[in-house]
Structure 1
Amino acid sequence: MSHSWLQHYPANIKTEIEIPDGVHIANLIETTCRQYANKVALTCMGTDVSFRQYDRLSSDLASYLQNDLKMKKGDRVAIMLPNVIQFPVALQAAMKIGVICVNTNPLYTAREMRHQFVDSGAKALVIMDLFLDKLEEIIEDTEIEHVIVTSIGDQLPLWKSLLIKTVLKVKGMVPSHNLTVIPFKEALSKGSQSKKYQTPEISLDDIAVLQYTGGTTGVSKGAMLTQRNILANIYQIQEWAKPYILKGDEVILTALPLYHIFALSVNFLAFLTTGGRMILLPKPVPIENTVKAFKKYKITVMTGVNTLFNALNNSKAFQAVAPRDLKVALAGGMALQQSVAKEFQSITGTQVIEGFGLTEASPVTHCNPMHTVPPKGSIGLPLPSTNSKVLDEAGNEVPIGEVGELCIQGPQVMKGYWQRSDETDKTIKDGWLWTGDMAKQDEDGYFFIVDRKKDMILVSGFNVYPNEVEDVLASHPKVLEAAVIGIPSDSSGEKVKAFVVKKDDSLTESELKAYCEKNLTGYKRPRAYEFKDELPKSNVGKILRRELRDQEPASA
């Protein structure tokens, strides 16, 4: 196998990374907190938390989880929060005592919450008060024993916290409930008065995070990301960015959600542990919210998906305050449109660097070098210690320039899927992760994504798996059959379109929309519907999504 990509590495970037002896995620963050104790680590809604304060808060919560809730190494805690200070506090608290984090989208419906909590076997949950009504619907179906509830304003000054809580209650956004919960502030207070937590022996093979993904089949599965996986990706990302960043000096805009593996690994774990200041945006949309951050702070590093960069490009307010301190702009999660990248660079003077990754690889596997102009449409070169090749269905490497399935090998590749060895065996073969993405490689070692092997739909960087959406549609009593595909969208790259065969002629589009609103989080919901008399099928009765796609006009 050729490693032709190494010739395009900048001279001062190592081709291999090493994880120092004795390092795990918690003590890596602790070391950073000691080194940059007086610097600001986290900023959210105008409130700053220093590295010293961050370590204290996470230590207090760790003591509470271990001493009061009796959580032990290997237990699972679900974190269901937007980008607020409480998120990195909760994650680090879990890391300190060897508890596995289950990152959960706070916009999930009750049905989606149930699946993830039941499958992971989460024993405790840290959740925003805005979502307690959905939790109440399903908690009895889960193993959750302890619910730590926080408010958007819990880590803000008292006057601001009270103001926010009052506004949310007046607007009816904080639901009533009959759950037994522990206030986040109370947990911190009890933890501070309790005996100090004890960090168990943590090995690189221990699971650190269960990150849920649809994989290649559409059934939501927990990718087991170990200490080694995540630490390797931290060091890989830091090595790749090394020539362009100054330790203790970067200001990182975090508009992408931390419950998504991209922001978790890149913004939080990789850049925060260089002593950077993470600017957390709980609600980056409308785009004016993000523009305000550029106005207020000298942002030097940002991550985003194509839709975020495009929204900024089309904001007159952003154009008026075009950042001149921005050194690194990383794009991932979905294909970066060349027109968007070009316009962003013309506004800011900063080249958008496209990379590639997937949940099963913690997530980053490829990135374009920052010292040169990469080939158009490239996802870049494999990161240090990462091997990549393009294989045909028989497992043979295809010639340069020909299309096959992108396969990855490296220390960031997951241990497997949680309690699904059969799915693991389908995805990891002979030590290689089969990504499900069709790709090609050029003579210089640059890789290009051509198409997705499966029928996955990519909405604003989030994976939507047709099986799940179809299952929801098919469960409607008036639906006979349903199939969904992705169709082009100017705003989100792709959007979901549903084809439905009625069981009851009275069924309307508005009924289906209301049903999907109850059972699917926003990005998974169909945005277009078409009723049909029948769906195309193979001779064994399998619905042929390909034919539905082929019937769609190119400009849909």
Structure 2
Amino acid sequence: MTASSNAASYFVDRHRQERPDKIAFREAAGKQRSLSYGQLAKDSDLIAGALRSAGIAREARVAMLVLDTIEFPQIFWGALKSGVVPVPLNTLLATPVYEAILRDSRASALFVSVELWPVVKAAAQIVPELKQIVVVGGEAPEGTISMAEFMADADPLQAVTCSADETAFWLYSSGSTGLPKGVRHVHGALRATAETYGAQVLQIRETDVVFSVAKLFFAYGLGNAMTFPMAVGATTILFHDRPTPDVVLDILKSERPTIFCGVPTLYAATLAKLEVGAKPDAPLRCCISAGEALPKDVGRKWRDLWGVDILDGVGSTEMLHIFLSNAPGDVTYGTSGVAVPGYQLRLADEAGDEVAQGEIGELLVRGDSAAEGYWNQRDKSRATFEGEWTRTGDKYERDAQGRYIYCGRTDDMFKVSGIWLSPFEVEQALVSHPSVLEAAVVAVRDGEGLEKPKAHIVLKEGDASPELAAELKAFVKEKIGKWKYPRWVEFAEDLPKTATGKIQRFKLREKDEGGRL
């Protein structure tokens, strides 16, 4: 990594000569547009020039409420070329949250997909810092300008020179509670993740075709579907809508990706679909999972059906991508694997001291992709970023082989009869039952004020009944131990989740506390 480098020069501009006609991005399911590496280089130059002409100053923020279409990379890399800081936003949020983020980031401009304008319109019109609103993929409503008009008279602008340590972009982390936090990343972090996880775990190459269900506004999706493929000149399949199991299976069949990037819930739901039909013919060579720990039963079933392992890993918005993972040819389901080359890990107790093998501690990580910190949240920055180390908030133990076993979030763990209980361990046991699709376990106080586990269950087959609840309790007892079984079982149509698909256990706790058992 050079001392002075704009990330756009590495990921975009070097392809002008190396592979200008190679397809970088191809849209699936209806839109069917594509974008070559050469065209992306030209378009991002024009976006950079248009931002400069619009008076958007270097280091100013530009919000991106943009679906996974070919305009996303055009805007993102164009902003980096101009020295402007793009801020991709979650496309699944509500108007008040967008208002809070636009005010917090003090964005000077907003790029918004025409489909998303109705939900952000009220917020965008009252935030005084916004100088420009550019509508993507359609005609511009009053008070906005279309992307075509924005670029029409622009002079191309080559990537400005900057340091690898200069702020490049922000991502807003969803968290499980409260408003999102602005996470600031530098130019060098993008290449760091591509050279660690992308090159050394995925072993991605130019001939690969990548499909990620995680969208580009997620740190996970940004690496999967943009920086990793672009680092080697591969092709990405973009899908702008919700990735249901039926849609995913259709894309795997029609677009024929070689790398598939999913999340545990979708893998489980897709398997449920495949149990009643034949798998499509897709040339998958690698599948990865993140977001939440992958239940071992889901991984094994997928491997048995597809002949390809799922590489379960752990990453975060703060670290930009995965830093702890299983690897090709070295997969142990039920674990998160080992440190990705280039990262160091440690497990610490509440006093900050390293724990012994087999004991549970909070996971801390050190690596070059770590964020600079949170925007306007100094206390949270100091609590999360401790020198070179970043606290993850995840509880793990390390086995004799050096593999890391997920035990839950720091605020999800609780004691039963004086012994620490991992909700995830109970959930993993529950989802291995043939009737269970999803499970979430939380602590509930009994009549004596003692905490005991309660399971919230989404079924994939069978009827919710007292008999099935009793069967599930017995199943857990036999699977992982008598004291770990859920004292109560509640069946539900679905579980509350964040926009990233993580289960919001705090909402289940609040619900259970409201109706004390």
Matched, 1:150 2:136: yes
Residue 329 of structure 1: how far off its partner (Å): 0.4
Residue 413 of structure 1: how far off its partner (Å): 1.2
CA distance in 2: counterparts of 1:529 and 1:294, whole angstroms: 34
1:386 aligns with one of 318, 321, 343: 343
Structure 2: segments with no counterpart, 5+ residues: 414-422, 425-441, 443-452, 461-495
1:401 is paired with a residue whose SS is: coil
CA distance in 1: counterparts of 2:79 and 2:91, whole angstroms: 19
CA distance in 2: counterparts of 1:528 and 1:386, whole angstroms: 31
- Where does 1:186-265 land on structure 2 (aligned, <5 Å)? 186-191=149-154, 194=155, 196-214=156-174, 218-241=178-201, 244-245=203-204, 247-265=205-223
CA distance in 2: counterparts of 1:301 and 1:183, whole angstroms: 34
CA contact (8 A) 1:32 1:274 kept: no
Distance 1:136 1:260, change over 3 A: same
Equivalent position amino acid for 2:265 in 1: T
Name the residue aligned to 2:448: none
Distance 1:31 1:61, change over 3 A: same
Q: How many residues align?
A: 442
1:36 aligns with one of 14, 19, 37: 19
Residue 123 of structure 1: how far off its partner (Å): 0.6
Residue 180 of structure 1: how far off its partner (Å): 0.9
Distance 1:200 1:114, change over 3 A: same
Equivalent position amino acid for 1:220 in 2: P
CA contact (8 A) 2:343 2:367 kept: yes
Distance 1:430 1:48, change over 3 A: closer
Name the residue aligned to 1:454: 411
CA distance in 1: counterparts of 2:499 and 2:91, whole angstroms: 9
CA distance in 2: counterparts of 1:405 and 1:37, whole angstroms: 46
Distance 1:350 1:220, change over 3 A: same
Residue 132 of structure 1: how far off its partner (Å): 2.0
2:314 is paired with a residue whose SS is: strand
1:73 is paired with a residue whose SS is: coil
Name the residue aligned to 1:479: none
CA distance in 2: counterparts of 1:414 and 1:249, whole angstroms: 31
Residue 142 of structure 1: how far off its partner (Å): 4.4
Distance 1:382 1:316, change over 3 A: closer
CA distance in 2: counterparts of 1:525 and 1:442, whole angstroms: 26
2:226 aligns with one of 255, 268, 276: 268
Name the residue aligned to 2:117: 132
Which of the pair has the greater relative contact order for Cα pairs under 8 Å at 6+ separation?
1
CA contact (8 A) 1:33 1:54 kept: no
CA distance in 1: counterparts of 2:267 and 2:149, whole angstroms: 39
Equivalent position amino acid for 1:39 in 2: K
- Where does 1:419-430 land on structure 2 (aligned, <5 Å)? 419-430=376-387
CA contact (8 A) 1:77 1:126 kept: yes
Name the residue aligned to 1:85: 70
Alpha-carbon RMSD across the aligned residues, in angstroms, is 3.4
Residue 455 of structure 1: how far off its partner (Å): 5.3
Name the residue aligned to 2:318: 360
CA distance in 1: counterparts of 2:366 and 2:514, whole angstroms: 32
Name the residue aligned to 1:330: 288
Higher alpha-carbon deviation: 43-52 or 388-397: 43-52
2:153 is paired with a residue whose SS is: helix
Higher alpha-carbon deviation: 274-283 or 439-448: 439-448
CA distance in 1: counterparts of 2:363 and 2:20, whole angstroms: 42
Residue 528 of structure 1: how far off its partner (Å): 12
Distance 1:546 1:412, change over 3 A: farther
Distance 1:550 1:224, change over 3 A: farther
Distance 1:266 1:424, change over 3 A: same
1:360 is paired with a residue whose SS is: coil
Residue 549 of structure 1: how far off its partner (Å): 11
CA contact (8 A) 1:439 1:450 kept: yes
- Percent same amino acid at aligned positions? 22
Name the residue aligned to 2:104: 119
Matched, 1:184 2:147: yes
Name the residue aligned to 1:535: none
Name the residue aligned to 1:533: none
CA distance in 2: counterparts of 1:288 and 1:77, whole angstroms: 35
The TM-score, its normalising length taken from structure 1, stands at 0.73
Name the residue aligned to 1:287: 245
Name the residue aligned to 2:357: 400
2:17 is paired with a residue whose SS is: helix
Residue 56 of structure 1: how far off its partner (Å): 1.5
Distance 1:216 1:309, change over 3 A: closer
1:267 is paired with a residue whose SS is: helix
CA contact (8 A) 1:58 1:92 kept: yes
CA contact (8 A) 2:9 2:159 kept: no
What does the per-residue CA deviation read over 1:147-179, in whole Å, with 9 as the maximum and x for residues that have no partner?
Answer: 11012xx6xxxxxxxxxx9xxxxxxxxxx96x4
CA contact (8 A) 1:34 1:51 kept: no
Equivalent position amino acid for 1:339 in 2: D
Higher alpha-carbon deviation: 449-458 or 252-261: 449-458
Name the residue aligned to 1:6: none
Equivalent position amino acid for 2:14 in 1: T
CA contact (8 A) 2:210 2:257 kept: yes
Residue 61 of structure 1: how far off its partner (Å): 1.4
Residue 489 of structure 1: how far off its partner (Å): 4.8
Distance 1:384 1:372, change over 3 A: closer
CA distance in 2: counterparts of 1:47 and 1:269, whole angstroms: 20
CA contact (8 A) 2:394 2:409 kept: yes
